[in-house]
Amino acid sequence: MALKLLNPGLRPLGMFDLEDDTAGTLEGGEHVELNATAIGAEGYAADVGAVGPFVGADLAGSRASVKFDVGLRTAHALAGLADEGISGYGTLFGEQIGGNAGQATSINGAVVIGPSTERGSGKVTVWTQSGLYAVDGAAADDATDPLSGADTVNDLVYGELNTGLLTLTALNNGAQVAIFVGHMADTSLVSTTNTAVGLAKAIESSAIYLLDPR
């Protein structure tokens, strides 16, 4: 799965810690929200801990730091979409483009080299500003409530309780995260599309409009 930037807000947040239990599991497009944690309760990057600029108020009688957790949306919280730091950019050493058998691009065949940025730094890049984004994979095709099953423009989109995956079901999923826009299919501009040869179009990702934190 990956988060795709269509017409996003500018300047994502990239300096906050990611919950340890989530590290290495992000697929891209999950809903994440800022929460507090007691200093020492989990690991964190050196510059977001007790000596960093993001030390919060006391939490349960001890100094607190802040981190992003996957999950549902609650009112009046800083939240957004997590970027997995893998697809297209963000890895420690980038992508290998080209080889003995020809060249490759980030869309088709490139070899990703190195870990994702959140594995390497312990931080997560979060897109918090409203704008147009797209998701594919697990968030778009979750077996129990897929965005791929949406067929109505302006459907409400939520974040699942334990995973942050995007869903159309409001039950136990907190406040609205985004607005469903539509599906993207046959996006290639340099090859013959399925539709052009009479085949059914293949949904590649689902577009959503992220709402501002409120």
Domain ranges of the chain: 3-210
pLDDT at 33: 94
Q: In a 3-state reduction of DSSP, which class is residue 202?
A: coil
Query: Where do we find the tokens 């929200």?
Result: 33
Range in 7-11, 38-42, 109-113, 195-199 the model is least confident about? 109-113
Quote helix, strand, coil % in the chain, to nearest 5. 10, 35, 55
Per-residue pLDDT reduced to its tens digit, 66-109: 889 999 999 889 999 998 776 655 444 455 555 555 555 555 55
Tokens, residue 137: 């994979």
| Average pLDDT over all residues of the chain | 76
Please give the share of the chain, as a percent, with pLDDT higher than 90: 20
Q: Write out the H or E segment, with its range, that includes residue 119.
A: helix 117-121
Confidence band, pLDDT 50/70/90 cuts, at residue 208: very high
Query: Mean pLDDT, to the nearest integer, of 202-210?
Result: 86
Checking if the pLDDT of 53 tops 70, the result is no
DSSP 136-193: -THHHH-SSS-GGG--STT-EEEE-TTT--EES--TTSBS--EEEEEEEE---SSS--
- 126 within 8 A of 133, measured Cβ to Cβ: no
